């Protein structure tokens, strides 16, 4: 119908000619607003056209509903803290040293005197000896400490570098041992009798020992924290004896990042001594804020990247629904107060005294009040075994960012269900240059190469590469059911493991549960980190993690190969 027909003269013409009656069937459509342009910019500006509309929306959302509640206005917080005082590795108690990161102290292993260390130490010694006239002493020292064997898998690079640096490379291992055991003086006597030269050699020796301590750390005095049967570190640290003393046990620290979750708390028997330092702190309360938290202001837009309203939850996802409800409805009932704590301290929050705007005071206690709580609780940052009514928070004195070198050693423990045993495969071992080098074909989980049998024949047994080390199940002492794994060896000449991880005294047992179905991968690598005063720490540590699945050695014994059958599948 043309638009012109809607003009008013048409309407009047129709009205004035009543004989042209048309049956009138009328209906009514409700008019709905609909945006006619895709640009919402102006709408989102929320321009105020009608201030009463704001009140309307607030009334609709119940924001004017009176409640029997009050806003907090002041918070007093009682906190007790104490630093770590002792460290126990094995059965040895040592004083905790806050100037060293905890994981460095726990993990540190002796650094082998490989070619890189030899080169560095030789340079330090040569530079400390200085230029002429004392440089002529260096060949004499080299003649006494000539480079012989170097630990690690031999590489062509190391051989070439050894030739290139023959003029200054020393047997630093022997030299350091000689200096530390005070036999270097005898060597110096053989080299020279001139007082100035003796002094120069002594100063160079001191410089070398200082450098070795600065860069590679002092020799470890406490026993190793690595549990060979658990493939993880185990240690314990505690606060000073007193009524509040707490012992923190790290049972299954596999290396890598050390944090609160590696520790379990064990309150030992209270002993005589000072209590934790207590402090009462006063704060103004502030509401919590988190990504996606509903905003209470009409014109504030929430961050669209986190939208709890779009949680995809089924009706049986009760936990997810409860969390969403908690986030969406009750987030404004939570307050937070900042608490500055020293790294390395164990702290307990006794409670908070909240004063509201009506001057009423409420004592807020922890929801996790120890083992006496009659419901199963879970909480972030809560240490297992900490049954105190005032739960503690432990800030582990660990490094934040560690530079980790490519692994020096890599040993994969895999389950071989066909052969019913566990294999430890030396995938990567330390070279004489101080770097990790892969052993031949170690990346393949299938060890022996299959061959086509021309006809039926008897196979006494297949062989596996010598870097596959078998671990056999044996009974745990005193038990007929539980088993553990014992290192064994295949028939043939004795072949010692090259990886330090496997170089343990016989018999070497590993608990069966430590090798899951997916296997376990243990690495040994140089790590470097800085500590609070900027001091760099360099150490060799291990990292134990879940492996990449089962493997098969293809080991079979006493087997008849049919014609055309591949001997190993």
Partner 1 sequence: MGCFGRTCSGMPEALPATGTELSDVQIAIWSNQAVVVQSLIAKRLETAKQLRSPFVDPLPTTEPELTLETPRRISVSLQRATDAARQLLDKPFVIVPLFQFHKPAQVAELSLAGAGPGIARASQVQDWMDSLSRVRPAVADAAWAIAVSSCMGAPIAEPIAIQLPRNAKAPWIGGKFTTPLPEGGWLAVISLQSALGFNGLQCGLVLDDWTENVPIDKATTGVSFHFNRLNAIAPQALLLAVPPAIRGHWDWEELKGCVHEAFDLAKLRAIEPDSLTTNGYFVGLPAILSEFSVNQFAHTLLTERSAAAAVLIKT
Judged by CB, which is closer to partner 1: 53, or 548? 53
Residue 170's nearest CA partner among 121, 216, 215 is 121
Residue 439's contacts (CB-CB under 8 Å, 6 or more residues apart) are 153, 426, 427, 428, 429, 467, 498
**Six token digits for residue 561:** 């190969």
**Six token digits for residue 421:** 């045993």
**Six token digits for residue 41:** 């910019």
Q: Is 334 in the site for partner 1 (CB under 8 A)?
A: yes
Give the SS3 label for residue 73: strand
Backbone angles phi, psi at 393, to 5 degrees: -130, 125
Beta-carbon count within 10 A of 253 CB: 25
Q: Is 372 in the site for partner 1 (CB under 8 A)?
A: no
Report the distance separating Cα 290 and Cα 409, nearest Å.
43
Residue owning tokens 């014609």? 563
Judged by CB, which is closer to partner 1: 150, or 447? 150
Q: Is 358 in the site for partner 1 (CB under 8 A)?
A: no
CB of 98 to partner 1, least distance (A): 9
Q: Is 394 in the site for partner 1 (CB under 8 A)?
A: no
Judged by CB, which is closer to partner 1: 20, or 310? 20
CB of 88 to partner 1, least distance (A): 24
Span of 35-43, 129-137, 165-173, 412-420 interacting with partner 1 by CB under 8 A: 165-173
Span of 197-205, 271-279, 393-401, 420-428 interacting with partner 1 by CB under 8 A: 393-401
Judged by CB, which is closer to partner 1: 66, or 491? 66
Q: Largest Cα–Cα distance in the chain?
A: 143
CB of 29 to partner 1, least distance (A): 4
Q: Which residues between 293 and 312 bind partner 1 (CB under 8 A)? A: 296-298
Q: Is 161 in the site for partner 1 (CB under 8 A)?
A: yes
Q: Is 440 in the site for partner 1 (CB under 8 A)?
A: no
Report the distance separating Cα 437 and Cα 403, nearest Å.
19
Judged by CB, which is closer to partner 1: 467, or 537? 537
**Six token digits for residue 198:** 């003796």
Span of 307-315, 477-485, 534-542, 556-564 interacting with partner 1 by CB under 8 A: 534-542
Number of residues that bind partner 1 (CB under 8 A): 101
Residue owning tokens 């745990």? 476
Q: Which residues between 62 and 101 bind partner 1 (CB under 8 A)? A: 62-67, 69-72, 77
Cα angle, residue 134 at apex, residues 131 and 137 outer, rounded to 5°? 120
CB of 309 to partner 1, least distance (A): 18
Q: Is 218 in the site for partner 1 (CB under 8 A)?
A: no
- Per the DSSP assignment, residues forming a β-bridge with 487 are 471
CB of 158 to partner 1, least distance (A): 10
Instruction: Give the containing element (helix H, strand E) for 122.
Output: helix 115-129
Judged by CB, which is closer to partner 1: 116, or 251? 116
**Six token digits for residue 178:** 């000689």
Out of 229, 473, 532, 566, point to the residue binding partner 1 (CB under 8 A).
Answer: 532
Residue 129's nearest CA partner among 143, 118, 140, 113 is 140
Judged by CB, which is closer to partner 1: 247, or 435? 435
Q: Are 471 and 485 in contact (CB under 8 A)?
A: yes
**Six token digits for residue 507:** 């018999």
Q: Is 152 in the site for partner 1 (CB under 8 A)?
A: no
Q: Which residues between 260 and 289 bind partner 1 (CB under 8 A)? A: 285, 288
Q: Which residues between 10 and 39 bind partner 1 (CB under 8 A)? A: 10-12, 14-15, 22-31
Report the distance separating Cα 286 and Cα 288, nearest Å.
6
Q: Is 405 in the site for partner 1 (CB under 8 A)?
A: yes
Q: Which residues between 451 and 470 bind partner 1 (CB under 8 A)? A: none
If DSSP states are collapsed to H, E and C, what string results for 459-473?
EEECCCCCCEEEEEE
Q: Is 56 in the site for partner 1 (CB under 8 A)?
A: yes
Residue owning tokens 């070497």? 508
């Amino acid at each position: 119908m043309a638009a012109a027909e809607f003009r008013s003269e048409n309407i009047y013409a129709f009205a004035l000619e009543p004989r042209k009656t048309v049956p009138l069937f009328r209906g009514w459509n409700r008019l709905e607003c609909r945006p006619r342009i895709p640009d919402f910019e102006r709408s989102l500006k929320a321009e105020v056209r009608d201030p009463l509309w704001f009140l309307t929306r607030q009334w609709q959302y119940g924001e004017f509903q009176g409640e029997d509640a009050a806003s907090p206005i002041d918070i007093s917080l009682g906190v007790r803290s104490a630093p770590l005082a002792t460290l126990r590795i094995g059965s040895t108690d040592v004083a905790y040293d806050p100037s060293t990161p905890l994981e460095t102290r726990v993990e540190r292993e002796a650094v082998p005197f490989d070619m890189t260390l030899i080169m560095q130490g030789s340079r330090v010694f040569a530079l400390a000896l200085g230029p002429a006239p004392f440089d002529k002493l260096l060949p004499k020292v080299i003649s006494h400490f000539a480079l012989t064997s170097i630990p690690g898998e031999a590489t062509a690079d190391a051989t070439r570098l050894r030739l290139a640096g023959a003029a200054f490379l020393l047997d630093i291992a022997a030299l350091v041992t000689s200096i530390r055991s005070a036999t270097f003086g005898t060597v110096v006597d053989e080299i020279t009798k001139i007082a100035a030269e003796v002094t120069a050699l002594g100063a160079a020796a001191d410089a070398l020992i200082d450098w070795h301590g600065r860069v590679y750390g002092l020799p470890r005095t406490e026993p190793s924290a690595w549990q060979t049967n658990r493939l993880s570190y185990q240690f314990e640290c505690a606060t000073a004896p007193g009524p509040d003393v707490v012992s923190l046990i790290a049972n299954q620290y596999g290396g890598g990042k050390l944090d609160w979750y590696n520790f379990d708390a064990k309150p030992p028997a209270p002993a005589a001594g000072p209590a934790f330092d207590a402090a009462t702190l006063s704060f103004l309360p502030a509401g919590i804020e988190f990504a996606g938290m509903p905003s209470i202001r009409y014109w504030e837009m929430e961050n669209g990247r986190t939208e709890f309203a779009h949680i995809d939850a089924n009706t049986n996802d009760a936990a997810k629904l409860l969390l969403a409800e908690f986030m969406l409805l009750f987030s404004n009932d939570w307050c937070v107060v900042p608490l500055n704590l020293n790294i390395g301290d164990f702290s307990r929050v006794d409670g908070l005294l909240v004063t509201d705007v009506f001057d009423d005071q409420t004592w807020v206690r922890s929801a996790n009040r120890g083992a006496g709580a009659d419901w199963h609780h879970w909480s972030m940052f809560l240490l297992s075994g900490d049954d105190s009514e005032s739960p503690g928070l432990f800030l582990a004195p660990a490094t934040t960012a560690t530079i980790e070198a490519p692994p020096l050693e890599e040993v994969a423990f895999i389950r071989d269900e066909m052969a019913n045993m566990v294999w430890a495969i030396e995938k990567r071992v330390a070279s004489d240059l101080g770097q990790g080098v892969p052993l031949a074909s170690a990346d393949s989980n299938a060890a022996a190469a299959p061959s086509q049998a021309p006809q039926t024949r008897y196979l006494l047994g297949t062989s596996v590469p010598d870097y596959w080390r078998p671990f056999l199940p044996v009974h745990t002492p005193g038990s007929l059911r539980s088993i553990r794994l014992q290192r064994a060896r295949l028939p043939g000449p004795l072949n010692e493991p090259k990886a330090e991880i496997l170089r343990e005294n016989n018999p070497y047992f590993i608990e069966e549960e430590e090798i899951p179905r997916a296997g376990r991968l243990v690495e040994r690598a140089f790590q470097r980190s800085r500590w609070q005063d900027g001091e760099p720490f360099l150490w060799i540590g291990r990292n134990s993690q879940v492996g990449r699945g089962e493997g098969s050695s293809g080991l079979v014994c006493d087997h008849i190969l049919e014609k055309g059958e591949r001997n190993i599948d």
